[in-house]
């Protein structure tokens, strides 16, 4: 899974991000390009267009949902989405909040950008349980002329069996 989250696990509000972090966008692009990305319908619809060089697996309850774009596959459960990535060496769950909740038991790595600020949000990332996840790597990024907030890239690895 990959996510940028506030100190209070905030993800977004009104189907939009709460911050603008160009270096985090660059990292997201670098990590996810060439891979399948799993997301909810609302997350997909928050993009102006599909992200280039990625296969979008969109989870929705709507049986008639069809974005009619070649890089998009529509499924109706997390289990259906996971079947589509079972033979891939790497893929990413990219949100939103409900999809992160559904995907957490199946994930083996969390790529988290922790923004060092709390935000008023309506969508939150699930709690990272330290009995299940171990911090494997961290890299701090200070405030600068392009970044209003300081943040830390955190890579967690699962230490307990997954679902």
Model confidence pLDDT, tens digit, residues 81-105: 999 999 999 999 999 999 999 999 9
Contacts of 38 (CB under 8 A, 6+ apart): 57, 59, 78, 81, 82, 85, 91, 92, 93, 94, 99, 103
The CATH homologous superfamily for domain 2-158 is Dihydrofolate Reductase, subunit A (3.40.430.10)
pLDDT averaged over the chain?
A: 96
What are 104's two structure tokens?
A: 């957490």
| Banded model confidence at residue 68, pLDDT cuts 50, 70, 90 | confident
Q: How do residues 129-147 score in pLDDT, each as one tens digit?
A: 999 999 999 999 999 999 9
Residue 161's pLDDT is 80
Question: Span 44-69, mean pLDDT?
Answer: 94
What are 133's two structure tokens?
A: 């996840």
| Domain spans of the chain, in order of start | 2-158
> Would the pLDDT of 70 be above 90?
no
Residue 163's pLDDT is 63
> Would the pLDDT of 162 be above 80?
no
Q: Is this model's pTM higher than 0.75 or not? A: yes
What are 53's two structure tokens?
A: 């060089």
Rounded to an integer, what distance in angstroms lies between the CA atom of residue 107 and that of residue 2? 10
Residue 135's pLDDT is 98
């Amino acid at each position: 899974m990959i996510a940028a989250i506030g100190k209070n696990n905030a993800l977004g509000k009104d189907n939009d991000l709460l911050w603008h972090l160009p270096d985090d966008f660059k990292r997201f692009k670098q990590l996810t390009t060439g891979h399948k990305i799993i997301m909810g319908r609302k997350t997909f619809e928050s993009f102006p267009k599909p992200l280039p060089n990625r296969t979008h697996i969109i989870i929705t309850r709507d049986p008639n949902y069809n974005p009619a774009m070649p890089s998009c596959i529509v499924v109706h459960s997390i289990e259906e989405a996971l079947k589509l990535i079972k033979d891939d060496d790497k893929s990413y769950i990219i949100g939103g909040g409900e999809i992160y909740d559904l995907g957490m038991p199946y994930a083996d790595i969390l790529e988290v950008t922790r923004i060092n600020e709390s935000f008023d949000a309506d969508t939150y990332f699930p709690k990272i349980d330290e009995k299940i996840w171990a911090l494997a790597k961290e890299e701090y990024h200070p405030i600068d002329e392009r970044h209003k907030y300081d943040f830390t890239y955190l890579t967690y690895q699962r230490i307990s069996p997954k679902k």
